[in-house]
Chain A
Amino acid sequence: MTMNDQKETRVRDQPGDDELEEELRRTAASLDPVPPELLRAAADAFTWRTVDAELAELVYDSLVDEDALALVRGGSDRRLLSFEAGGLSIDLEVSTAGAARELTGQLAPPQRASIEIRAGSGRVRTDADELGRFRATSVPAGPMSLRCQLAAAGTGPAIVTDWISA
């Protein structure tokens, strides 16, 4: 075996790959680390937990579930979402105009509810009418979740939706 052969073998060696990966890891940790304010936000996420509430899972998202053709046709500033928990469904239309977001929603079956929109670091409150309709304007940017206290449930458990990075 010549020296050149040996060299080539070494270049392809697994240990060389591991070493390069480690060098990349140190470089990424130094040049593109997780910003400290995001680590604090992640710690704070624990305090947003709603242990006593029922979780309404995301079952439809036009961003993901609409076919490619509809995405091309439709305006991209309007997003439709559906959440479901037990017998309740929450349909949402989110439209974005500049930095502010506007929500239009519908509870099914239709009923009154008090609704708290948790978005970014703030909360916006609104009410669903007897037809289950609700609306909110000037919803701050950032991850968003709805907390619905159904009028019929009295002081029973609230329903919270999955968080979405709208």
Chain B
Amino acid sequence: MTASDEPQPRSAEAAAPAPGARADRHSVPDNEVGELVRAAARGDQASWEALIARYSGLIWSVARGYRLSQADTADVFQTTWLRLAEHLGQIKDPERVGAWLATTAGRECLRVARSGSRVVPASEATLVGLGQVDCYSPEQATLDSEQARLDADQARTLWRAFGELPERCRQLLRILIASPAPSYAEVAAALSMPVGSIGPTRARCLRRLRQLLEAM
């Protein structure tokens, strides 16, 4: 794959909707999501897998935002999907299944975080986001051009600065940067925060991140 095959941030930016539309950033329209839930409830495996493709990044990001251990993150992720599988026919608002999943994952994270035997040792917590670099980036091995190396260095610097953010900022941004991008309603559901406070907090946290980057 050449560099030009990769989605470029600037072109994505140009195609992005006006700032006012950012509160709803779904790549799949709500009514289609609702139909996926209804079809999955009828037993359609393909619809279930479409839901996984849409929301796995969100659930993973919620759990990573809580700085749980690897094993706990995996447990929360699986439990959230198992719960949805059992509740498919009972979801009151199938169009808002993303918020349902975010709420479920957020609550499971809190449970796991409160379980005394599972508190993440400080040493492990500080390594999250740094230690991950090696074990989670098989792509690194295939990066061979000089430009790619520079990009990788830049990404690591950015990730290191991200890891130094205050807890609340790091947690909010980790959820916001899920792939694909979650809606503000989903982010708010994961953190039990009012939707209206997501935008201002995001702006404040990104400003803080810039300061950290400048100091590096």
Contacts and interface: CB of A to CB of B under 8 A. Distances in A.
Given A14-B19, A15-B13, A25 B177 contact: yes
Nearest to A163: B82
Nearest to A13: B19
Interface of A: 11-12, 14-15, 17-35, 38-39, 41-43, 45-46, 48-51, 55, 61, 63-64, 71, 75-77, 79, 96, 141-143, 145, 160, 162-165
Main secondary structure of the interface of B (DSSP, over half): helix
B86 A32 contact: no
A34 B86 contact: no
B66 interface: no
B115 A27 contact: no
Interface in B192-206: 202-203, 206
Contacts of B108: 165
Instruction: Name which of A12, A45, A76, A142 has the most chain B CB atoms within 10 A of its CB.
Output: A45
13 contacts: A26-B7, A26-B155, A30-B139, A31-B156, A42-B56, A51-B43, A51-B89, A63-B114, A64-B110, A76-B115, A142-B78, A143-B75, A160-B86
B77 A38 contact: yes
A50 B179 contact: no
Q: Interface on chain A toward B: helix, strand, loop, or mixed SS?
A: helix
B173 interface: yes
Interface residues on B, range: 35 or more
Given A27-B158, A61-B111, A48 B9 contact: no
B27 to A, nearest CB: 12
Contacts of A165: 72, 75-76, 78-79, 108, 111-112
Given A38-B77, A41-B78, A46-B85, A24 B158 contact: yes
A164 B108 CA distance: 8
Nearest to A64: B111
B83 A163 contact: yes
Contacts of B112: 165
Nearest to B57: A34
Nearest to B116: A76
A45 B13 contact: no
Interface string B30-74: 000000000010010100110010001100110010000001101
Q: Which of A39, A141, A160 has the most CB of B within 10 A?
A: A39
Contacts of A49: 85-86, 88
B190 interface: no
B137 A31 contact: yes
B87 interface: yes
Nearest to B213: A20
Interface centre among B72, B82, B89, B139 (most CB of A within 10 A): B82
A30 B85 contact: no
